[in-house]
């Protein structure tokens, strides 16, 4: 019976390539903690470190026939661990950047959507309040705000005084301020 702990790395890799499980176990026992300590310095997370090292040894077993262990097993394992760590850290950085970008997009998108919904609701309330005004007041207000006519132009068109136009606009704005104030106050308390 072979004493695997006394074999050199070169002998162990030859046996590993031939599919010797005991040689694999000896390599694992010989290098696990060295690789773990090296990986932990970079990752600072024991569970992820353990996962990386186990994945490294799994790949070692699965690809044993095609691997080249030059200049030596220790160098190969150290380089393989370092590459896996860098790939994982790079992947985590990219993932973090993506999540940050996605969160910013979602925040911006929901903010825009929320803004558009509130703007639509506000416009509906304004239109509803305008529609509920007395006929002459509504007509004066719409000519003033929607058609951008001056008080003089409205007075001439409707054959009323500028003073009457001014009073209708002022009263309409007072009604809207009151109703919109209530709406904004309610939306503030509901949004809390």
Question: Can you give the pLDDT of all 192 residues of the chain as single tens digits?
Answer: 689 999 999 999 999 999 999 999 999 999 999 999 999 998 888 999 999 999 999 999 999 999 888 889 999 999 999 999 988 888 778 777 777 776 776 666 555 666 777 778 778 877 888 888 888 988 988 888 888 888 899 899 899 998 998 998 888 878 877 777 766 656 655 554
- The CATH number of the structural domain formed by 4-97 is 1.10.1740.10
Q: How many CB atoms lie within 10 A of CB 141?
A: 22
Domain borders along the chain are 4-97, 132-191
**Taking a C-beta distance cutoff of 8 angstroms, is the pair 55, 77 a contact?**
no
The pTM (predicted TM-score) of the whole model is 0.51
Class (C level, CATH) for 132-191:
mainly alpha
- Cβ-proximal residues to 59 (8 Å cutoff; 6+ apart), any chain: 80
């Amino acid at each position: 019976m072979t004493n695997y702990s006394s074999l050199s790395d070169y002998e162990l890799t030859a046996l590993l390539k031939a599919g010797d499980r005991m040689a694999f176990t000896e390599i694992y026992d010989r290098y696990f903690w060295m690789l773990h300590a090296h990986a932990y310095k970079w990752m600072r997370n024991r569970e992820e470190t353990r996962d990386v090292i186990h994945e490294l040894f799994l790949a070692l077993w699965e690809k044993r026939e095609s691997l080249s262990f030059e200049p030596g097993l220790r160098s190969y394992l150290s380089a393989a661990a370092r590459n896996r760590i860098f790939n994982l850290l790079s992947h985590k950085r990219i993932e973090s950047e993506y999540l940050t970008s996605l969160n910013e997009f979602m925040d911006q998108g929901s903010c825009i959507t929320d803004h558009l919904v509130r703007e639509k609701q506000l416009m509906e309330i304004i239109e509803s309040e305008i529609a509920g005004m007395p006929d002459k007041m509504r007509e004066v207000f719409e000519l003033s705000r929607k058609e951008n006519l001056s008080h003089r132009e409205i007075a001439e068109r409707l054959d009323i005084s500028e003073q009457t136009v001014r009073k209708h606009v002022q009263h309409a704005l007072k009604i809207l301020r009151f109703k919109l104030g209530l709406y904004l106050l309610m939306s503030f308390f509901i949004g809390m």
